Structure 1
Amino acid sequence: MFLVITVVSTLVGALVKGQETISADNPPAYVKQCYEDDPKLTQCLIGALHHLQPYLATGIKEVELPSVEPFLMDELSLSLTGGPNGYKISLKDMNIYGASNFTMSMLKLSENGRPFEAKINIPSLRINARYQSSGILIILPASGNGTFLGQFDNLDCMLKGKTSVNEIQGRQYLHIDALHVDLTVKKMRMMVKNIFRNNSILTEAINLFLRENGHEVFKVMLPQLRKKLAGLFMGISNKLLMHVPLDVFYLQKAKELS
């Protein structure tokens, strides 16, 4: 899901260490080039990003970019009920599936210092994580650990960010300087299993809580999720961009006609 946030930037290829620099005349297969004075530039950029999807799913060796299926997140820590014995959960070693299957429906390029904006939809994101909990849930001591499974359907992501252009050895490279991610989800399902020696009573109590309070749990997740996703997206995007000259994927019309 995530290279959508690079907007213009993730349309591109890479430089291979020790090999000749890539050029606009010899772009990698996963590059769909766009021209700056194309009257349908926005549609071209969206199409180029969609063109990149299968490569994101399998990974791009030239820039040491692994597959985004799954992409990894370290940890989310959530306090779900108040009080000294409040119910707290921690999700660790999170594997997130479905990020490469996205559709971008809106793109506004940065102009006059304003941030770029993009809207994407992901039909389904699945999360598999290690689960740890502590505190009291309803009337049950709920300390334990196990496996967390989540599915989030019809996920809309709004992205806003700022970019800059750096010159390195005479060539220009795009860089994502700041990024804000907002999320809404239409449908979700969360559950746990293998909880504390397969304690069936505790497992059912936790799953009942997650079924009846799913949207509230997601709201508690959201601030951390926004921040962590923005950091992950920026890191991965800029890793690509540091290898990608602007003149490889964003060309002047004159070059096309020459």
Structure 2
Amino acid sequence: LLHIFGDCPRCQQIDMSPYYCCCLLLTLCCLGMSLGVTGQQPVPEYVKQCKKSNPKLEECLIQSLHHVKPYLVKGIPDIEMPSVEPFILDSLTLSLTGGERGYRITLRDIHMYGASNFTVSKLKLSHNKQPFEAKIHIPEIKIDANYTSSGVLIVLPASGGGRFHATLGNVAATLKGFVSSSTRAGQEYLNVDKLDINLAIKDIKMHVRKVFNNNRILTEATNLFLKENGHEVLDVMMPQLRVKMATVIKKVVNQLLSHTPVELLVIP
């Protein structure tokens, strides 16, 4: 290369040394190699590309989903995506016993930790207007929330507030949804239009603290109720939890997809 550029009239004309020209060419070549496969668009570090011709495309896309996990944890400033740890829901309202003075719980400012530590076990792409489907496993999700209650618990008036904590272990989730595509600036982008989540949770631990002005009897009664009826409480919580989790997950996914054209995700 130095020999070639030593005889280059253009380099001599603009007073560039052969060494400088050589370095410039290598730089341009490297840049071209990094941009050329994606239409001169750099590949973000959070994207792991898959080839469309790959006979195991779905397995490759699962690896791509696993690749993005650490970026979900720390957030992606380039696309204005905050960290998903914690995963935040606004509120859940639960009626746990019937009657005029039934026991009711409201959870607000719900922080969920551990949702980004997922493993995708199965991915089925959408074909012939059928929904896509993903099966994932999360070892543990911890929940912290502000807690208020009203009504009667067993035989005790149980109106008050405090902090609610829960640990959900061995969480299996099935996600199903529909995706549409649109063209922007000559590139195709995907969008999740609808997402449904089914949750199966094996292990449940719940407790409250700093409630009822630290009334020990009411605190112990509430925690005994949650310990003995954890699965029932979760069953009441589940319809709202599924809808609100789906809404937040869809928002996160679409934030990624709106900044990542299909041509970057799946290459020829």
Give the structure 1 partner of residue 205 of structure 2: 189
Q: Determine the C-alpha separation between the residues in 2 that align with 1:134 and 1:238.
A: 38
Give the structure 1 partner of residue 16 of structure 2: none
- 1:87-126 map, 5 Å: 87-126=103-142
3-state SS of 1:124 partner: strand
Equivalent position to 1:234, from 230, 240, 250:
250
3-state SS of 1:216 partner: helix
Structure 1 stretches of at least 4 aligned residues deviating more than 2 Å after TM superposition: 22-26
Equivalent position to 2:88, from 53, 72, 97:
72
Contiguous gaps of at least 5 residues in structure 2: 1-34
Rg larger for = 2
Give the structure 2 partner of residue 61 of structure 1: 77
Contact 2:119 2:136 (C-alpha < 8 Å) held by counterparts = yes
Contact 2:190 2:262 (C-alpha < 8 Å) held by counterparts = yes
**Aligned: 1:246 with 2:259:** no
Give the structure 1 partner of residue 217 of structure 2: 201
Taking structure 1 as the reference length, the TM-score comes to 0.88
Contact 2:38 2:267 (C-alpha < 8 Å) held by counterparts = no
Please state which structure has a larger fraction of its residues in helix. Answer: 2
AA of the residue aligned to 1:130: N
Give the structure 1 partner of residue 162 of structure 2: 146
C-alpha deviation, 1:40, in angstroms: 1.1
1:94-153 deviation per Cα after TM superposition (whole angstroms, max 9, x unaligned): 010001111100110000010000100000000000000000000000000000000000
**Aligned: 1:173 with 2:186:** no
Q: Determine the C-alpha separation between the residues in 1 that align with 2:116 and 2:73.
A: 6
Contiguous gaps of at least 5 residues in structure 1: 1-19, 253-258
Give the structure 1 partner of residue 22 of structure 2: none
- How many residues are aligned here? 232
AA of the residue aligned to 2:149: S
Taking structure 2 as the reference length, the TM-score comes to 0.84
C-alpha deviation, 1:23, in angstroms: 4.2
Question: How many percent identity over aligned positions?
Answer: 52
AA of the residue aligned to 1:93: D
AA of the residue aligned to 2:122: M
